[in-house]
Amino acid sequence: DHLVNQIAAGEVVERPASVIKELIENSLDAGCARLEIDVEQGGIKRLRVRDDGRGIARDQLALALARHATSKLFELADLEAVGTLGFRGEALPSIASVSRLTLTSRVRPDSDDAASDRAGDSAWEVAVAIDGRLEGPRPAAHPSGTSVEVRDLFFNTPARRKFLRTEKTEFDHVDQVVRRLALARPDVALELRHNGRVVHQLPAADGRPESVLARLDRLLGAGFAEQSLEIDVSAVDLRLHGWVRRPAFSRSQPDQQFFYVNGRLIRDRLITHAIRQAFSDFLHQARHPGYVLFLELPPRLVDVNVHPAKHEVRFRESRQVHDFIQRALQRRLAQGVL
């Protein structure tokens, strides 16, 4: 089973950044309001994600590390309507099979689990031993919520460890992942530390556009807010909202193109094309528009289950989605003074 998990890890766990992504998504799925991410040596030596989400009850801790033991899918039909970010029950066991993993949790006092057995009275921890056996649950000190600590990634798979790059490169990837998620969830407070140094300290936005824009400014560089137009357009089954920014004319700008479908960042040629088309009608120099855009549509109209890394999607009605995005942006750009 340990071996099966290691093989699965090949799909899910490529580097520290992919571990961070899976852990943060779990925290978001657990309804957290606050995230603390701590990384040492690019995440190769140690990384930890702590949340204040609903927590995991003592008797569920071992299960969370078991293969295909997701708590998020109850029937096969649910695959059609995946609302949570994770749904394969693969990430934790995969990560645990190629690292030294510790899972610590205390059930949030207001959750169902806590009410039934006063589980929220204390925190519990399980650790995966070198041979893959589980140690614990044993009592631990932890506020309500969950921490996952991953040390010595790929210590037991030297071939994979060889593919890791320098500490700086690995941290850059971690930072990318954190930024993407931080842009998508301004309602969640977030702190990222590398080797003890604070890299991001982002308060939760309170729902006002200004507070969301303040986060965009901090993540994308000052001026994004000032130079961007808010957009929010709905049609039957489709909603596009977010911000678009004046394109850079002179010098190349850092990557400021983020497109999310139902909360997941995706890279999609169809969508890139629609956006370029929309801009090209208004500014012929508009080769590199900046944007942070969110497309929401009913899960049945989009297939996110294309690859475990989940950067791809497949739309049922791709033409319709393309044209909706293009027109929505065109109309907004026509009104705004970009």
Supply the minimum distance, in Å, between the C-beta of residue 233 and ligand ADP. 32
Chain-centroid distance of CA 80 in Å reads 20
Q: Is 183 in the site for ligand ADP (CB under 6 A)?
A: no
| Window contacting Mg ion (CB under 5 A); options: 90-98, 126-134, 228-236, 241-249 | 90-98
Q: Which residue has the tokens 């950044």?
A: 17
Contact yes or no for 20/36 (Cβ under 8 A) = no
Contact yes or no for 202/189 (Cβ under 8 A) = yes
Tokens encoding 285: 């120099």
Q: Is 98 in the site for ligand ADP (CB under 6 A)?
A: no
Q: Which of 5, 27, 99, 111 binds ligand ADP (CB under 6 A)?
A: 27
How far apart are alpha carbons 98 and 154 in whole angstroms? 5
Site for ligand ADP in 273-302 (CB under 6 A): none
| Window contacting ligand ADP (CB under 6 A); options: 21-29, 196-204, 221-229, 314-322 | 21-29
CA distances (Å), origin 63, targets 30, 56, 95, 103, 151: 16, 10, 14, 11, 21
Contact yes or no for 112/127 (Cβ under 8 A) = no
Contact yes or no for 17/25 (Cβ under 8 A) = no
How far apart are alpha carbons 166 and 158 in whole angstroms? 16
Contact yes or no for 267/312 (Cβ under 8 A) = yes
Q: Is 305 in the site for ligand ADP (CB under 6 A)?
A: no
Contact yes or no for 55/28 (Cβ under 8 A) = no
Supply the minimum distance, in Å, between the C-beta of residue 145 and ligand ADP. 7
| Window contacting ligand ADP (CB under 6 A); options: 68-76, 115-123, 126-134, 276-284 | 68-76
Residue closer to ligand ADP by CB (options 148, 231) is 148
Contact yes or no for 164/154 (Cβ under 8 A) = yes
Residue closer to ligand ADP by CB (options 307, 331) is 307
Q: Which residue is nearest to Mg ion, using beta carbons?
A: 86
Supply the minimum distance, in Å, between the C-beta of residue 49 and Mg ion. 11
How many chain residues are in contact with Mg ion, going by CB under 5 A?
A: 3
Supply the minimum distance, in Å, between the C-beta of residue 15 and ligand ADP. 17
Site for Mg ion in 9-28 (CB under 5 A): 26
| Window contacting ligand ADP (CB under 6 A); options: 19-27, 223-231, 238-246, 269-277 | 19-27
Q: Is 89 in the site for ligand ADP (CB under 6 A)?
A: yes
Site for ligand ADP in 134-153 (CB under 6 A): 146
Q: Which residue is nearest to ligand ADP, using beta carbons?
A: 86
Supply the minimum distance, in Å, between the C-beta of residue 43 and ligand ADP. 17
How far apart are alpha carbons 79 and 73 in whole angstroms? 7
Supply the minimum distance, in Å, between the C-beta of residue 285 and ligand ADP. 43
For residue 182, the SS3 value is: helix
Q: Which of 86, 93, 186, 290 binds Mg ion (CB under 5 A)?
A: 86
The entry of Mg ion, ligand ADP, none that residue 176 binds, CB within 5 to 8 Å by partner kind = none
How far apart are alpha carbons 188 and 9 in whole angstroms? 28
Q: Is 310 in the site for ligand ADP (CB under 6 A)?
A: no
DSSP-assigned letters across all residues of 89-131: S-HHHHHHHTSEEEEEEE--TTSHHHHHH-GGGSEEEEEE-TT
User: What residues make contact with Mg ion under the rule CB under 5 A?
Assistant: 26, 86, 91
Which residue ranges make up the site for ligand ADP (CB under 6 A)?
A: 22, 26-27, 30, 51, 53-54, 56, 64, 70-72, 86-92, 146
